[in-house]
Structure 1
Amino acid sequence: EFYCCGTHTIAIKFTVGEFSYPLESVIKLKKLMDEDISPDKLCKSIKLPEEFYPVCDKEDAADVFIKLGIFINLDMCCMCQLH
């Protein structure tokens, strides 16, 4: 399960399972994925921001990265108005 939550669009956090990240971190992750670093190889990349290291301890790390990356493809304004 994943969802967006925010107050007045100031503090937007993205949650996938037990992991929660601010918008800025998810944007960094999406940029890495756009550099053709596949989700299953992100944990081996020296470019992966440290805040994502705990995800790499999970078997479904690639799925978590994919779900976080999907958020950036959504219309943020419309999505956050729902909450």
Structure 2
Amino acid sequence: MKALLTAVLCLCTLAAFSDCVTVQVRNFSFSLESVKKLKDFMDSTVTRNPQLPSARSVSLCANPDLPKEFLSLCDTQDADQIFEDLKPIARSPELCEICAFAACAGC
């Protein structure tokens, strides 16, 4: 019973900390929750434009459901590269929750 209680407490603590984890890429900071949502948008964009990686940010930014945190990124010239930098974190956000990525802070 104590082990179960400890495990639940650890999971709750991890979930609470994930809300305050930020991901910083270059001069941009995003909440981990927004980066987690980005994965679904990236997957659907790659499916539609597999041979046009430079059009990836245009497709992402055109999606009205994209988290608002990314709108300032959409206005930059290097948005494609920054989205590429965010891709490994979006695909494995649990590694960010334990700060395995250098771009993650707030653990």
Greater C-alpha radius of gyration: 2
TM-score (structure 2 length as normaliser): 0.57
- 1:37 equivalent to 2:55? Answer no
1:59 CA displacement: 0.5
* Structure 2 counterpart of 1:4: none
Structure 1 or 2: more strand by fraction: 1
Q: Provide the rounded CA distance (Å) in 2 between the counterparts of 1:79 and 1:54.
A: 26
Sequence identity of aligned pairs in percent?
Answer: 34
1:1-83 mapped onto 2 (5 Å cutoff): 10=17, 11-34=20-43, 36-38=44-46, 39-40=56-57, 41-74=59-92, 76=95, 77=98, 79=100
Structure 1 or 2: more helix by fraction: 2
* Alpha-carbon contact 2:37-2:90 (below 8 Å) kept: no
What secondary structure is seen at the aligned counterpart in 2 of 1:79?
Answer: coil
- Runs (5+) with no aligned partner, structure 1: 1-7
- Runs (5+) with no aligned partner, structure 2: 1-12, 47-55
Q: Provide the rounded CA distance (Å) in 1 between the counterparts of 2:36 and 2:74.
A: 18
Moved over 6 A (4+): none
Letter in 2 for 1:32: F
Q: CA 1:79–1:60 in 2, change beyond 3 Å: closer, same or farther?
A: same
Q: Provide the rounded CA distance (Å) in 2 between the counterparts of 1:59 and 1:29.
A: 19
Q: Provide the rounded CA distance (Å) in 1 between the counterparts of 2:27 and 2:87.
A: 16
What secondary structure is seen at the aligned counterpart in 1 of 2:29?
Answer: strand
Letter in 2 for 1:29: L
Q: Provide the rounded CA distance (Å) in 2 between the counterparts of 1:13 and 1:24.
A: 9
